[in-house]
Every structure is written in C-alpha cells, then in structure tokens.
Amino acid sequence: MEAPGTAPGSSPLITKPFIAIDRPKPDPLNIGDHCPFLKGGAIMGCAPGFGDLRWGHIMANWPGDNAVFPFSLPLIKQFEGFRGTPYKDSAGIPTIGYGTILYPNGKAVTMLDKPVTEDEASGFLAYQLGLKSKTIAPMLQNAASLHQAAAMLSLTYNIGTAAFQSSTVLRKFNAGDLQAAADAFLLWDKATVDGQHVVVEGLYNRRVAERQIFLTADA
C-alpha cells in the first residue's frame, strides 16, 4: 500500500460540490483551433505547434477520449480553477490556466509569460489530457467504464502518471476490486504545507468527487 497520497504541485483548489454527469455530452470548450476537441461528433485536429495528437484514440480497455473527456474536463476545471496569468503553485512551480505547467510545444511556463485566455487554457488542458490518457490506457488490465476512466484521468492529471502507475487505485482496479479502487482515491488527499504532510481540504474534496464519479454507473 502506498504512503498517504500527496498531489505534487497542486494548484489552489475550488471546493464547491461537484454534480455528477449522467451521460456523455460534448463539452462546449470553445477552444477554436487551439487543440483537438469534439464538435458535432467530429474529431478535430490540433493547430500547428500542438503536435500530432488526435483526441479520440481508443485502446482495448479505454472507452475513447471523445467519450471520456466530456466527463473529466468539467471535473478537472472545477477543482483546478482558471487563472489567466502565471502563478506559482503550492510546490513553487510556475503555472497558468487550468494547472498547466508545460505548454503543448514543451516549453515550461514561466512567471514572465503573457496572460492566456480561457479558450487557450482549455486547449492546453485538452492537449495534456490526451497525452495522459495515451499513457494510462495501456496500464488498464480491465475495461473501464466512462465514469471510471474519467475519474482515473482526473486523478492522473493531479498526481502525475508515475504516481498513478504505482497507486493502489490502479492496482485494485486491475484486480477487479472496484470498491477498494474507489476508496483508494482518498489516499491522495495530502500535501506538504509548511514542511508538514497534512490533509488539504481542497484535495480531500477533489478525491471525494473523483471517487463518486468512479462509482457512478454509466447511463
């Protein structure tokens, strides 16, 4: 069992209640041409400079990004919160938008960067989720439902792919113990504050919301 979870580099979190989504709906991201997004059921490509990522890859046990992202994006946006100008997160890492620390071109965010719009921030977020879903999808040994995939993707965005790979959440999911996997989300509710490893209310609320999503049956 892993040590009590810490979400490294977590940005300030919003603690308002999360309302579960009953069925997948295209999220009105209004990203424009910044990055892949779902529009009228079509998969749109990235603009130059955003790589060759395509939103919609499907692997054996992954439901597909087109189906998962409308569940995960609102959850992540709620808890990350939007900040248009650079700021330092709790780990002192320059961050912008919805928790972005690396732009799609691979450049790290700096405190001297110009502000971004919410549309641009949504594009950065969608791009990073696409990268992370491609990384975690092969780790799944059982088929994930839309809600399970969305919850695990949200957790991964917050704690990182390496931490997710070694997590009890993944281990229990692959073992078919879904209740234990859901409960293991709650391990990742701590951060280092003033040198102390403590439970952070925002992280706890985020884990509770992810656990709720994970346990929600697809419509």
Where residue 143 sits, what CATH number does that domain have? 1.10.530.40
Q: Is residue 57 pLDDT above 90, yes or no?
A: no
Q: Is residue 144 part of a domain?
A: yes
Q: Which of 57-71, 123-137, 151-165 has the lowest mean pLDDT?
A: 57-71
Is residue 126 within 8 A of residue 28, CB to CB? The reply is no
Q: Provide the residue range defining the domain that includes 131.
A: 38-215
Condensed to tens digits (0 to 9), the pLDDT of residues 86-127 reads 999 877 899 999 999 999 999 999 999 999 999 999 999 999
- Give the confidence band of 7 by pLDDT, cuts at 50, 70, 90: low
- pTM comes to 0.74
Q: Is residue 109 part of a domain?
A: yes
Q: Is residue 17 part of a domain?
A: no
Residues involved in catalysis: 80
Q: Is residue 141 part of a domain?
A: yes
Q: Is residue 10 part of a domain?
A: no
Q: Is residue 90 part of a domain?
A: yes
The reported pLDDT for the residue numbered 30 is 31
**Angle at the Cα of 180 (from 179 to 186), degrees rounded to 5?**
105
Q: Is residue 187 part of a domain?
A: yes
Q: Is residue 152 part of a domain?
A: yes
Provide the number of structural domains found in the chain. 1
- Nearest one of 2, 3, 6, 1 to 200, comparing CA atoms: 6
